[in-house]
Amino acid sequence: MPTADGRRDGADGPRPVNGRHSALTLTVNGTPHALTLDHRTTVLDLLREHLGLTGTKKGCDHGQCGACTVLVDGRRANSCLLLAVAHDGRRITTVEGLADADRLHPLQEAFLERDALQCGYCTPGQICSAVGVLAEAADGFPSHVTPDTAPSGAPVALTADEIRERMSGNLCRCGAYPRIVEAVADAAAAGAGVGGR
């Protein structure tokens, strides 16, 4: 049943097992997982500690750095701020779910080619965030730097300033930002955002 905010819970919603745990279903990278989880478990810790999907990184655990960015039903989110029990029935895409078997996602290719990474710890979050950026721009979401005169709801051209603004939730202490902007621009120019999610 769709809830008021439009999301769908799993078949029966999260089912309390005891006062501390509930059973729920989450689809991660296309695979449904039936889980019984501590109510305190975040989506980030679920991915890393329960499902072995350690591509999603924990940088601050407080929604300040973006290293844990994943896509929830196609939109980017800081998974450290999401309690898993509140996400029954949702579809999560992580960095492990972007490549098509051995064929990298165009953003992954662009990050490699531009050397848009150094230590690599923020990289999965940057790439997931960029996937979200391409989709948001294609869907006409404005940003702080989108001109006031831009037609409402029309796709937004991803200029360097747009990319810088939209990628500013993902910190990179190695300072790869100039290369990251180039990589996202490459992928946008190659049409990676169109139907990309």
**Could you say which of 179, 186, 188, 196 contacts other proteins (CB under 8 A)?**
179
**Could you say which of 64, 154, 190, 194 contacts other proteins (CB under 8 A)?**
64
Q: At what angle do helices 177-189 and 106-114 cross, to 10 degrees?
A: 140
- Interface with other proteins includes 12 (CB under 8 A)? no
- Interface with other proteins includes 40 (CB under 8 A)? yes
Stretch that binds other proteins, among 5-13, 35-43, 134-142, 189-197 (CB under 8 A): 35-43
- Interface with other proteins includes 32 (CB under 8 A)? no
**196 touches 132 (CB < 8 A):** no
What ranges in 5-105 are assigned the alpha helix state H?
43-45
Of residues 75-134, those binding other proteins (CB under 8 A): 94-96, 98-99, 104, 108, 111-113, 115, 117-124, 127
Shortest reach from residue 116's CB to other proteins, in Å? 8
- Interface with other proteins includes 168 (CB under 8 A)? yes
> Cα 146–69–3 angle (5° rounding)?
85
Sequential DSSP letters for 85-96: GGGTT-EEE-GG
Tokens of 58: 């924990």
Phi, psi at 26, each rounded to 5°: -130, 140
**Beta carbon nearer to other proteins, 11 or 99:** 99
Distance between CA atoms of residues 131 and 170, nearest Å: 13
- Interface with other proteins includes 38 (CB under 8 A)? yes
Amino acid at 109: E
- Interface with other proteins includes 158 (CB under 8 A)? no
Q: Cα dist. 180→10, 39, 113, 124 in Å?
A: 37, 36, 11, 12
Q: Point out which residues bind other proteins (CB under 8 A).
A: 20, 38, 40-41, 45, 48-49, 52-62, 64-65, 67, 94-96, 98-99, 104, 108, 111-113, 115, 117-124, 127, 163-165, 167-181
